[in-house]
Structure 1
Amino acid sequence: MKKNRKKAIIIEILLVLAVAAVVVAVVIGVGSTEETPETAGSETPANTGESAAAGIGETEQTATYMIKYDATWSAETHPETLPEGAHVSPIFVVAHANEGDLFAAGTAATEGIEIMAETGATAVLADEVGANPSILDSTVGSLINVPGSIELEIELDQDHPLLSAVSMLAPSPDWFVAVSNVELFRDGQWLEEVSLAVRPYDSGTDSGATFTADDLETDPAGVIGSPADDSFTDAAAENRFATITLTKKKPG
C-alpha cells in the first residue's frame, strides 16, 4: 500500500512539472512576437498606409503632356470658304480642376475670351487664368499661318486633370476653335495619347456675319455658342479646322 501511494505521488509530481513546462513555453512564445528594435519597421511598404502613400511617385501624381496643335485649315481642306490671309492665333492652353474654368458654352464670354476671340491676344486671358486657383498651369503657343502646326508642353496633376485650349480663327468677327474639359486622368491612370478635332465657337460678342466683316459689337452681348452665321457654318461643315494631339511624356 505504501508502494502504491509513493507511485501516485511521483505521477502527481510529473503532471505538475508537465503543466509548468507548457505554461513556460506559452509565455516564451508570446514574448517572441513583441516588436523589438530588430523587428520594428520590418513590414513591407504595401502593408502600411504611410509607406503606401509615400510609394506613389511624382510621375503618378503629375504628368507632362506634349501638345501638338495641327491647324489644317487651308485651301485644300476649305476650298469654298477659306478667307484671304487665313491664320490661327497662338493657342492658349490650361490645366485645370473644374469644368468651365477657361470657358463654358451657354455662358457669357469673359473679357479675356472676348479679346482672344476678336483679336487673338491672350494677355487679359492669362491674367484671368492667373487669378483662378482652380487652374494649375497655362501655356501659349505662337501664331500659325495655315496650314501649319506647333508643339508645346503643359503639366497636370491628379487634382487638376482637365485640359482646355482656345485659338482664334482669323480673320473673323469673334470666332474661335477649342477643346474643352478633356479628362486625362481616368480610372487611376494617365492616358497615353488623345487626338481630338477642335470644335468651332462663336463668342457672342460681335455680330459680324462673314470672316472679313467690319467690327459690329453685339449689344447686349450674347453667350458662347456654336456657329450661327452662314459663312461660319458653311466652313465648319466643309471640313475640320484643326486637330490637337496630347501625348504623355515619359518621366525622367
Structure 2
Amino acid sequence: MTKVLLLCGALLGVVWGAATNQDPLESCQPDKLTVYKVVLHTFWSRETFPKHYPDWRPPASWSKVFGKSHDKSFILFRLGMKSSAGVKAFAETGRSDLMEGQSQGDGGVYDEFNAPPINIGVGRTEAEFFVDGNHSRVSLMSKIVPSPDWFIGIDSFDLCVNGNWLDSITIEVDPIDAGTDNGFTFTAPNWPTEPQGEAYRITAQYPAHPAGSFFYPYLKRLPPIATFQFIKVKEYELSEVFHHSEDDRKYDVLKMENLQVRNDATSRDNNDIQTAIEEERQEQEVHVRPKPKPRSRTSSYYTANNYYKQYTLSTPLSTSTSKFSSTDSNSLSNTIHPNEIPVTSPAVFPAVVPRGNKDAIMSSIADSYMSQKDQQPHKKYRKFKKTSRKYRPPRDCRVTDWSAWSLCSKSCGIGEMQRKREVVKHARRGGRLCPALIETKWCGSARSCNKEYFSW
C-alpha cells in the first residue's frame, strides 16, 4: 500500500507541474538529435468550470505557449519558489520578452519554442522543438486569460527514460498561481503581492476563499483544465565527423571569373530563347492578319449614247508606259467597254462629264445622290459600333485596409477602441455600396486602475 501511495504521489507531482528531479539510470546518447511535437489541449468550458466563467472583457482564452528544452541546471519556474521577473510578466500580462533573453547554449538552454494562442476556452495548439542527450528536459507554460497571475505549465520534464526517448506521453495539468498578485477572481484588479510570494498549485479547496474563481469546496479535485501531449517526431543520428584543416587544398576551387562566364552564358541562352519566341509570335501574327486588298479607283465617262468606266491601277505606272495607242494590239489600254466588265457600283470619285452635255450632267448628279444615300447606313452602323464600345460596367466601392486599433478611451474601467478605413473609390453605375468604415469594440478593465481607485 505504501508503494502505491508513493507512485501516486510521484505522478501527481508531474501533473501539478512540480519539478521532476528524477535522475534516469541511463541518459540518452548525446550524438542523437530528437524532434518532439507538443500538443496543448484545453478544456475550460462553462460546463466544467461554471463559476465566474468569463464571456467577455476578454472571453475565456489562453496565451501563447512559451517553452524551452534544457539540461537539469535550468529552471523556468518551480512550485515552492519565487517566480522570476520573466515568469511574473508572462503570468500577469502574457509577455515573454523578458524570458527570451537567453540564447541557445546559455544557462543550459538548448531550444526555445512557441505555440500560437488559443482564442477560446476549449481548443488546441501545437509546436515542435529539439532535444538531445545532454538537453533532454522540457519546461513550458501558458497564461490563463483573463486571470491575475495564473497559468498552466510543466517544469523540467525529462523525455529520456533509461536511455530511450519516450514515444508519446500525455500529462494533465492544474492551474498554478505565480505568487505575484493577490487577486481571487478571473477579472480581479491588479493587486500586487508584497512581498512576493511563492508559486503554488490552485486546487478546489485552496485558496480557501469563497470569492475564488476555482473554489469548489464540494469537489475533491478540479476537473482537468488542460493536457500537454509530447509526441516523438524524428530522430537524427551523427553519421560522420569531418576533420578538414584550413590549409587542406584538396577541395575544388571555383574562380570568380569562371563563375561570371557561366552566368553570362546562361543569360545569353535565355536571351536567345526569348528572341526566338518573339520572332515566332510575330511570324504567327503576319500569317493570321489578313492582307489588305488593293482598292481600284474608277472614273466614269459619258457620251450622248454610251457609258464607259475607266479603271485606274492602285500602283501608279511609270511615265514611259503611261500612254498607249488604242489601235496597238500589244499595248495595254486602261479604257474598258462596259459589255466586257460589269458595272458593280457607282463611281467613288467624281465622274468626268463632258462639257456642254446636259444629259450627262443630270445623270452624274443622280448617280452622286444615290451614292451618298447608299453610304448613309454604313455611317450609322459605324456610329453605333463606336458608341457601343463606350459601355462601362458597374464599379464597386473600394476601401483601404483597417487601420490599427486606437488606444482605449479609458485608462481605468471599461472603454472603447476604434479602427477605421477610408474610401478609395466610390461606387458607380449601380455598383456595390461601401461597407462600414468604423468598427468599435470594448476594452479595458478594473485591473488597470491604481490602488487608490478602490479606496472609496
Larger radius of gyration: 2
TM-score, scaled relative to structure 2: 0.40
CA contact (8 A) 2:42 2:226 kept: yes
Q: What CA deviation, in whole Å up to 9, does each residue of 1:153-194 have, x standing for no partner?
A: 000011111111111111111011111221111111000001
Mapped pair 1:75 → 2:56: no
Among 101, 116, 121, which residue is 1:142 paired with? 116
For structure 1, the 5+ residue unaligned runs are 1-55
**1:115 alignment counterpart:** 89
CA RMSD of aligned residues (A): 2.2
* 1:207 aligned residue (182, 198, 208): 182
Q: Deviations over 1:70-106 (max 9, x none)?
A: 1121223323342231111101111111166211111
Alignment partners' CA distance in 2, 1:119 and 1:71: 19
SS at match of 1:173: coil
Structure 2: unaligned runs, 5 residues or longer:
1-28, 237-456
The 3-state SS of whatever aligns with 2:175 is: strand
Distance of aligned partners of 1:106 and 1:183 in 2 relative to their CA distance in 1, 3 Å threshold: same
Instruction: For 2:113 and 2:97, locate their aligned partners in 1 and report how far apart those are by CA, in whole Å.
Output: 11
Preserved CA contact (<8 Å) 2:35 2:128: yes
Select which of 105, 110, 114 maps to 2:79. Answer: 105
1:17-42 deviation line (CA, Å, top 9, x unaligned): xxxxxxxxxxxxxxxxxxxxxxxxxx
Task: Provide the rounded CA distance (Å) in 1 between the counterparts of 2:86 and 2:174.
Answer: 19
Name the % identity: 29
Residue equivalent to 1:218: 193
Q: 2:162 aligns to what?
A: 187
The worse-fitting range, judged by mean Cα deviation, of 140-149 and 187-196 is 140-149
1-structure distance, mates of 2:214, 2:103: 30
Q: Greater shift after overlay, 207-216 or 124-133?
A: 124-133
Instruction: Tell me, yes or no, if the aligned pair for 2:53 and 2:60 is still in contact at 8 Å.
Output: yes
Looking at secondary structure, tell me which structure has more strand per residue.
1
TM-score with structure 1 setting the length: 0.71
Aligned length: 195
Q: Which amino acid aligns with 1:163?
A: V
Equivalent residue of 2:201, what SS?
A: coil
Cα offset for 1:69?
Answer: 0.8
- Alpha-carbon contact 2:41-2:123 (below 8 Å) kept: yes
Alignment of 1:22-101 (within 5 A): 61-84=32-55, 85-98=59-72, 101=75
Which region of structure 1 is more displaced relative to structure 2, 132-141 or 183-192?
132-141
Q: Which shows bigger deviation, 231-240 or 149-158?
A: 231-240
Distance 1:170 1:161 in 2: 30
Q: Which has a greater percent of helix?
A: 1
The corresponding residue for 1:159 is 134
Give 1:150 deviation, angstroms.
0.8
> In the alignment, is the contact (CA less than 8 A) between 1:90 and 1:167 conserved in 2?
yes
Tell me the CA shift for residue 233 of structure 1. Answer: 3.9
